[in-house]
Amino acid sequence: MMKPVSSASLAPSKLRVLRFVSNLLSKAVGLVVLSLLGSGVAPEATRAQQASDRIRLNQVGFYPDAKKVAVVVGADAGSFAVVETATSDTVHLGTLSAAEQWDMSGEQVRRAPFSEVTAAGTYELRVEGLGVSYPFTIEQNVFRPVARAALKAYYYQRMSIPLKEEYAGQWARPMGHPDDEVQVHPSAASEARPEGTTIAAPKGWYDAGDYNKYVVNSGISTYTLLAIYEHYPEGAEDLSPSIPESGNDVPDVLDEALWNLRWMLDMQAPDGGVYHKLTHPSFQGMVMPHEVSAPRYVVQKSTAAALDFAAVMAQGARLYDDYSDAFPGLADSMRTAALRAWTWARAHPDVPYDQQAMNQQYDPDVVTGAYGDDTFADEFAWAAAELAVTTEADSFLAVASPLDRAPTVPSWGNVRTLGWMTLLEHRADVASAVDTSALTRRYRRFADELVQARTDVPYRTVMGRERSDFAWGSNSVAANQAMVLLQAERLTHDPTYVQAALANFDYLLGRNATGYSFVTGHGDRSPMRIHHRPSEADGITAPVPGFLAGGPNPGQQDAGHCDPAYPSDHPATSYLDALCSYASNEVTINWNAPLVYVAAVLGAEYGE
């Protein structure tokens, strides 16, 4: 359809003439555009392979009423067309925006907006001189498959259970890591559990591409999944990815989170402290989980682990209380565990996990991921917020409040904003202890800063204003920015925040300087060689679906291990789809969690 022309002052007869001429012009220009693009457009079977990587858009698709934008690289001023793939009919003609230079990618880009296209169908975008885009769809439930696949990725990360073909399909595998005989590392030894004591700590998720479990990273990951249910129960109900617990009258997102929470409960020591991680001494080779036989250890307790544990257990206690018939006693156990961990942390407020120092003192050496942190004000603030809401006791906020500092984009090492979001969600319940009006104003100010960032990015995404956005796991920065913005919309009902969050989701699915849809199995150009041991060792060409790859990382910490080399040193294009690239192409549970959240919540916002 043509872009609507204002007709407020036109008589009906003149309006009919205008529409007739407009339709003729649309068809004529459409034919000219198609001619300029060339008559050798590939048939449907090969179109994706011949799509131009200089046309970047959400390769999955768009909701009918959502904003729709593509970005083209190196194009001259001119027009573009949106074409229905089945019929080759031109349904929209538009003009590219003025060119803008983006230093983060070294590109000159133009935008192609086409929000006027709202009819359900499959389309491609054609640009003079460049060719065609990857195909995309417009439909009402367009993000549902991504949301379900991103949650299903956690099932594929489960340990202590075989993945059956009924649920895992071609990625079925035998049980890996029962973790029923885990040794207490010398660093974790106590009078109650001396060195070499064997404990059981089964279940949980493999943290990333490796085969270890880390409490700190589990904290933010589990919180974010539980927050879907707490913030958008209707969106949580729709997340049904087919797991063994499906159909038990409990939302699948709660069932999946519980698989990890059960493990976390076993990581609490008798004195209330929490072991930092459960791990092999070193990273294992590219083999399947059931082929690993190296010993497993729980290592020293840390303040960060105790507080992240306390926060998530307090959150879980109030949510699983809704399902006391399905899980009798669970909420009470979580509440008790949270309080014990909080008490331990108050008594041990400054115990960092220093792996290097630990290895100098104890054997065996442990060289797996550290998730080290030496500042704990944010963890105290988050745990205090969760415990205050769950116990209805203001005293926790008197000890540590998230409001002592402004919110930031969440990450595993900076969890203060998770406390902000919990207090905002329950602001009526904490009004006696918190100035909820100031709370809302300060959070909105932060969200407005994120929205404003879009004007400085030619791709018109929040992601990419600062070089620091392109850190290790940069795609989780984009996803967490979107989660922050969606929370702002819930406070204000201002659709500007949803549109900004959607722009970042478009970034993750293809509207970015690499041209990749970063979610495995979704989009025509998605990662194929993620740094993920099961995906490499299972003999299947396609990687396990639903994982969010780490994304551009100019640090290139793996550069000495990788051949081929990174294609670029620019922050926005420093990405390599290769097994060796753990710095840009690994997957982790904390990167996937905001992907699930944003996909599910955008679905709820757009009326699924």
Q: Is this structure's pTM higher than 0.85?
A: yes
Which position has the higher pLDDT, 409 or 37?
409
Q: Is 125 helix (H, G, I), strand (E, B) or coil?
A: strand
Strand arrangement, sheet containing 297-298 = 198-199, 182-184, 297-298, 277-279, 213-214
Q: Are 390 and 355 in contact (CB under 8 A)?
A: no
Q: Which of 231, 280, 522, 531 is catalytic?
A: 531
Q: Which of 179, 379, 586, 605 is catalytic?
A: 586
pLDDT tens for residues 460-507?
Answer: 999 999 999 999 999 999 999 999 999 999 999 999 999 999 999 999
Tokens 């929000």 correspond to 115
Q: Is 179 a catalytic residue?
A: no
For residue 198, pLDDT over 70 is answered with yes
Q: Are 141 and 608 in contact (CB under 8 A)?
A: yes
Q: Which of 128, 210, 256, 489 is catalytic?
A: 210
Q: Are 470 and 554 in contact (CB under 8 A)?
A: yes
Q: Is 210 a catalytic residue?
A: yes
Radius of gyration of the chain (CA): 25
Which position has the higher pLDDT, 49 or 475?
475
Residue 234: its pLDDT value, please?
Answer: 82
* HEC assignment per residue over 503-525: HHHHHHCCCCCCCCCCECCCCCC
363: closest CA among 160, 185, 127, 126?
A: 185
Distance between CA 504 and CA 282 in Å, rounded?
36
Give 289's pLDDT tier (boundaries 50, 70, 90).
Answer: very high
* Angle subtended by helix axes 436-453 and 474-492, to nearest 10: 130
484: closest CA among 224, 235, 253?
A: 224
* HEC assignment per residue over 377-418: HHHHHHHHHHHHHHHCCCHHHHHCCHHHCCCCCCECCECHHH
Q: Which of 378, 489, 577, 605 is catalytic?
A: 577
Residue 608: its pLDDT value, please?
Answer: 58
Q: Is 531 a catalytic residue?
A: yes
Tokens read off for 544: 């396990």
Lowest mean pLDDT among 27-36, 94-103, 353-362: 27-36
106: closest CA among 529, 580, 572?
A: 572
Question: If you average pLDDT over every residue of the chain, what do you get?
Answer: 92
Give 25's pLDDT tier (boundaries 50, 70, 90).
Answer: very low
Distance between CA 384 and CA 405 in Å, rounded?
14
Of the CATH numbers 1.10.10.10, 3.40.50.1580, 1.50.10.10, 3.60.60.10, which one belongs to the domain with range 144-522+585-605? 1.50.10.10
Residue 47: its pLDDT value, please?
Answer: 44
Amino acid code (one letter) for 586: E
The residues near 85 (Cβ < 8 Å, ≥ 6 apart) are 44, 47, 122, 123, 124, 135
For residue 212, pLDDT over 50 is answered with yes
Amino acid code (one letter) for 10: L
Q: Are 419 and 433 in contact (CB under 8 A)?
A: no
Distance between CA 312 and CA 215 in Å, rounded?
10
Beta strand segments in 114-263, E: 121-127, 131-132, 136-138, 182-184, 198-199, 213-214
* Angle subtended by helix axes 377-391 and 416-425, to nearest 10: 20
Give 413's pLDDT tier (boundaries 50, 70, 90).
Answer: very high
pLDDT tens for residues 321-363?
Answer: 999 999 999 999 999 999 999 999 999 999 999 999 999 999 9
Give 193's pLDDT tier (boundaries 50, 70, 90).
Answer: very high
Q: CA 407 → CA 420, 435, 517, distances in Å? A: 7, 15, 29
Looking at the domain that runs over 17-138, which CATH code has it been given? 2.60.40.10
Tokens read off for 136: 């995309």
Distance between CA 356 and CA 425 in Å, rounded?
40
User: Given CA atoms 107, 112, 115, 121 in this order, what sign does their dihedral have?
Assistant: negative
> Which residue ranges make up each domain of the chain?
17-138, 144-522+585-605
